[in-house]
């Protein structure tokens, strides 16, 4: 029989990798909590028209990447290709900004796109998504960008660059769109196939075509920043001023338009040169039109998503390895010791220690080797002799210091033991 394998474009995150993921998630959770963002957990499946209306039918995501199916009741369902649209739907459905309040939200979880799998590009991938809903203030733009850069910095990533642009409001964009189409039409035959189609459906997307000839042509195209209204320009100037005040480096990129239709004003991407072709770790921007497009009240918002596969790839390159060491390793051999070893393990875990217990009745020597490899501070040994005398052997693995104590003193005087374990772990 052929063995069943994971689907193309999906991947098991194995136990050796999860410590890194958990550390990233815990660091993010901690930082977001300190910045007043609260977690929201929307469903992973939604009505297909949420994405059609929200992201736009002319985008790659909706046009060719969605996992859409009909459920048994005949409804068209889509497994989310991104997180923002679902969050905005939830905010509107539960009227979370009804009193005109500012809402700071985050969510982490998988998203699904039918793409060509390659390094840093999968069909099931994970996003950390952050949204600030209910403010038009340019400080909101600067805040969410700063949250992203602070997180990446806290994780130890340094050589990142940020591209920044403004795509203006919908009027600005319409005027720019007309100018761009007028400029590109004489070159139509020279554009790549996708860009030729986009000339009608989504001309701004031609600006970030990867095709070399198309790139050459758009180099001399009209500049989006020349089409901003006075208000849009003012907003953008203020955002830039705040970023400068925060020492956040960026480079203006008038060809940055992002893949999804709902963006207005600020758009940004954070890249790493160490990721090859899939260089963008974080993408985001302002989307003042999305809520009303989904049938809600006119509500401004700005947010971003970090791709966790790309982020963890970078951290692996930096050889970041969060510790998963045990505090205590229990070695035991002999029938009389089995129940006692379980009790000791339970008592110490209740005190907050990380405890691993041997289940194989191997020779002590083999068990001690595994104890050494576990990174534990303390090895507790129970053999037949100890079972008979009601004692255990303690061995501090870094210093080699050994002692014998009674089982009752071990489980009763645990506070002292915990303190000593912590001291040893901190010193190493």
Q: Give residues in contact with ligand ATP (CB under 6 A).
A: 82, 113, 115, 120-122, 125, 127, 259, 278, 280-283, 305, 307, 309-310
Shortest Cβ 311–ligand ATP spacing (Å):
7
In the bound state with ligand ATP, the residue whose beta carbon lies nearer, of 14 and 230, is 14
Alpha helices in 98-220 (DSSP H): 138-154, 170-184, 193-201, 212-218
Q: 102 near 135, Cβ under 8 Å? A: yes
CA distances from 123 to 4, 6, 12, 113, 281 (A): 18, 12, 12, 5, 16
Structure tokens at 231: 């208000």
Q: Which is nearer to ligand ATP, 282 or 344 (CB)?
A: 282
For ligand ATP, the closer of residues 312 and 411 by Cβ is 312
| Structure-token match 């990447």, residue found | 65
Give the nearest distance from C-beta 283 to ligand ATP in angstroms.
Answer: 3
State the Cα–Cα distance between residues 312 and 267, nearest whole angstrom: 24
CA–CA gap between residue 92 and residue 296 (Å, rounded): 6
Nearer of residues 7 and 350 to ligand ATP, judged by Cβ = 7
CB neighbour burial string for 27-50, b if at least 16 within 10 angstroms, e if fewer: ebeebbeebebeebebeebbebeb
Summary count for the chain: helices (H), strands (E): 16, 16
Nearer to ligand ATP, 111 or 382 (CB): 111
Tokens coding 124: 């099931």
Min separation Cβ 259 and ligand ATP, Å: 4
Question: Considering the complex, what minimum distance in angstroms separates the CB of residue 322 from ligand ATP?
Answer: 21
**CB of 130 vs ligand ATP, minimal distance in Å:** 11
Taking CB atoms, the residue at the shortest distance from ligand ATP is 307
If the CB atoms of residues 122 and 253 are measured against ligand ATP, the closer one turns out to be 122
Question: 103 or 281, CB closer to ligand ATP?
Answer: 281
Q: List, edge to edge, every strand of the sheet that includes 124-133.
A: 38-39, 103-112, 124-133, 301-307, 280-286, 264-272, 160-166, 251-252
CB of 10 vs ligand ATP, minimal distance in Å: 11
b/e map 263-273, b = 16+ CB within 10 Å:
bbbbbbbbbbe
Q: Smallest distance from the beta carbon of 83 to ligand ATP, in angstroms?
A: 9
- As a whole number of angstroms, the distance between CA 414 and CA 327 comes to 13
CB of 120 to ligand ATP, least distance (A): 6
Residues constituting the chain: 428
Backbone phi, psi, residue 329, to 5°: -125, 125
Nearer to ligand ATP, 248 or 417 (CB): 248
159 or 346: whose CB is closer to ligand ATP? 159
Question: Quick one: 318 or 413, whose CB is closer to ligand ATP?
Answer: 318
CA distance 167 to 357: 59
Residue 120 Rama label (left phi>0; alpha psi -120 to 50; beta): left
Nearest-5° Cα angle at 169, 164 to 172: 95
Which tokens sit at 297? Answer: 């009240």
Cα angle 320, 272, 209; round to 5: 145
Nearer to ligand ATP, 310 or 333 (CB): 310
Shortest separation between residue 242's beta carbon and ligand ATP, angstroms? 22
Q: Least distance from C-beta 82 to ligand ATP, angstroms? A: 5
CB of 3 to ligand ATP, least distance (A): 25
CA–CA separation, 11 vs 5, rounded Å? 10
Q: Which of 95, 117, 91 is nearest to 105 (CA)?
A: 91
């Amino acid at each position: 029989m052929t063995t069943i394998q994971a689907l193309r474009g999906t991947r098991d995150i194995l136990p050796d990798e999860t410590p890194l993921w958990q550390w990233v998630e815990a660091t993010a959770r901690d930082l977001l909590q300190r910045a007043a963002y609260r977690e929201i957990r929307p469903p992973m499946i939604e009505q297909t028209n949420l994405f059609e209306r929200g992201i736009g039918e002319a985008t790659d995501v909706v046009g060719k990447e969605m996992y859409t199916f009909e459920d048994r009741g005949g409804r068209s369902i889509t497994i989310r290709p991104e997180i923002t649209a679902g969050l905005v739907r939830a905010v509107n459905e539960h009227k979370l900004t009804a009193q005109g309040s500012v809402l700071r939200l985050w969510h982490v979880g998988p998203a699904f796109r039918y793409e060509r799998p390659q390094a840093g590009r999968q069909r099931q991938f994970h996003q950390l998504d952050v949204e600030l809903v209910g403010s038009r203030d340019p400080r909101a733009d600067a805040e969410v960008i700063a949250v992203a850069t602070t997180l990446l910095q806290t994780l130890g990533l340094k050589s990142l660059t940020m591209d920044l642009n403004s795509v203006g409001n919908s009027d600005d964009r319409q005027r720019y769109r007309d100018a761009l189409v007028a400029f590109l039409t004489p070159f139509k035959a020279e554009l790549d196939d996708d860009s030729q189609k986009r000339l009608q459906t989504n001309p701004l997307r031609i600006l970030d075509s990867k095709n070399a000839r198309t790139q050459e042509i758009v180099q001399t195209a009209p500049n989006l920043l020349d089409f901003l209204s006075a208000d849009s320009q003012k907003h953008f100037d203020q955002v830039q001023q705040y970023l400068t005040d925060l020492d956040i480096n960026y480079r203006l990129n008038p060809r940055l338009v992002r893949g999804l239709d709902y963006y207005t004003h600020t758009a940004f991407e954070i890249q790493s040169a160490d990721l090859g072709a899939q260089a963008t770790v974080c993408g985001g921007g302002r989307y003042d039109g999305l809520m009303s497009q989904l049938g809600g009240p006119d509500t401004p918002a700005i947010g971003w998503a970090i791709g966790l596969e790309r982020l963890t790839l970078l951290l692996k390159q930096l050889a970041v390895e969060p510790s998963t060491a045990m505090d205590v390793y229990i070695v035991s051999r002999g029938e009389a010791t089995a129940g006692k070893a379980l009790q000791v393990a339970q008592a110490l875990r209740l005190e907050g220690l990380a405890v691993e217990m041997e289940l194989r009745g191997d020779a002590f020597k083999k068990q001690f080797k595994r104890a050494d490899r576990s990174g534990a501070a303390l090895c507790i040994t129970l053999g037949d002799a100890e079972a008979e005398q009601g004692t255990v052997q303690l061995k501090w693995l870094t210093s080699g210091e050994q002692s014998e104590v009674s089982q009752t003193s071990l489980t009763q005087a645990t506070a002292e033991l915990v303190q000593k374990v912590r001291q040893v772990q901190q010193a190493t």
